[in-house]
Amino acid sequence: MNRILVVEDDDSLRGDLVDYLCLQGFDARGIGTAGEVSDALKQGQLPDVILLDVALPDGDGYCLARDIRARLNCGIIMLTAHGDTESRVRGFESGADIYLVKHTALREIAAAVHSLLRRLPQEAALKDAAKEWVLDAVSWILQSPEGQEIKLTATEKTFVEALIGNAGKPCSREDLARTLSRRQTNFENRHLDAVASRLRRKISSHTNTEAPIKSVYGIGYSFSASGTIGNTKPD
C-alpha cells in the first residue's frame, strides 16, 4: 500500500485530503507544520508521495521541498494557493514533480498521485515491497519492517497468523472466532474487538507507528500491510 504524507496547516483541507486518499486505497496521514515533517520521517514510515503546502506556519514549503528532495527518493506534489507562473517555476525548481492549486478537486489530486506513482523509479516500488512484517510462528514474535520485535500471546499469535495468511483480504468475524476457539474454550465473537484493540496498542507502543490491524466494516479484520509467516526454530 503506497504511503502518502499530507503536509497542510489548514485542518479542514488536511482532513478532507487524508480521508479521500484513504478511500482511494492509500495509506495517508496528515501533519500541519514543517517541524512535524522531520519527526514523521524519523519514524521510519517513509512516504512514497508528499503533498506539500507552500505557506506553512513555521517554514517555507519551497525550502522544505529542497530538503526533502535531497534526503528522499519520493514524489512531491505542491498544493498551494499561489497559482502564478513565478510561483509554479519556483516550485519545480525546488524539486516538485507536480504543482497544483488548492481549489483543485480531490478527484484530480488523487489522479495526480496515481500518475506520479507510475512515474517513480522502479527501485522505490521494490523498496516498499521489501518492507514487510514477519510473524515467527514458532517463537510467537511479530517483527516490524524496521526490525522491532513484539512478543505475542497465543491468542494474539493465532489472530495475526489468520490475518496474514489471508493475503490482505478481510477475515470474517465468524472465521476468526472459530479459529481462536481452538486455542481458547468458550471464545465469543464479541471478544475479537478486545483482542484487536489490545494488539493494536501493543504494536504501537513497541514501534511508534500505527498497527496494521484494520477493522473492515460489516466483515471483520484485515492485515493492511505486507506480511509473511516464518517458522524459525529457537536456538
Residue 20 clears pLDDT 90, i.e. is over it: yes
The confidence band for 233, taking pLDDT boundaries of 50, 70 and 90, is very low
What pLDDT is stored for residue 6 in this prediction? 95
Residue 122's Cβ-count burial label (10 Å; 0-12, 13-18, 19+) is exposed
Task: Annotate 108-164 with DSSP letters as a single string.
Answer: HHHHHHHHHHHHS-HHHHHHHHH--EEEETTTTEEE-TTS-EEE--HHHHHHHHHHH
Mean predicted confidence (pLDDT) in 3-10: 93
What pLDDT is stored for residue 166 in this prediction? 86
User: Whole-model pTM?
Assistant: 0.53
Residue 42 clears pLDDT 80, i.e. is over it: no
Question: In this predicted model, what pLDDT tens digit does every residue of 91-108 receive, in sequence order?
Answer: 999 999 999 998 899 999
Q: What percent of the chain has pLDDT over 70?
A: 89
What pLDDT is stored for residue 41 in this prediction? 76
Mean predicted confidence (pLDDT) in 15-19: 95
78 or 187: whose pLDDT is higher?
78
Percentages helix, strand, coil for the chain (3-state, rounded to 5) are 45, 20, 35
Mean predicted confidence (pLDDT) in 36-59: 84
Strand partners, 228: 134
What pLDDT is stored for residue 119 in this prediction? 80
3-128 and 132-230: identical CATH topology: no
Report the range of poorest mean pLDDT among 4-8, 141-145, 164-168: 164-168
Query: Domain 3-128: which topology?
Result: Rossmann fold (3.40.50)
Residue 185 clears pLDDT 60, i.e. is over it: no
199 or 45: whose pLDDT is higher?
199
Strand partners, 30: 6
Tell me the domain boundaries of the chain: 3-128, 132-230
3.30.450.20, 1.20.1440.130, 1.10.10.10, 1.10.1060.10: CATH of 132-230:
1.10.10.10
Mean predicted confidence (pLDDT) in 1-21: 92
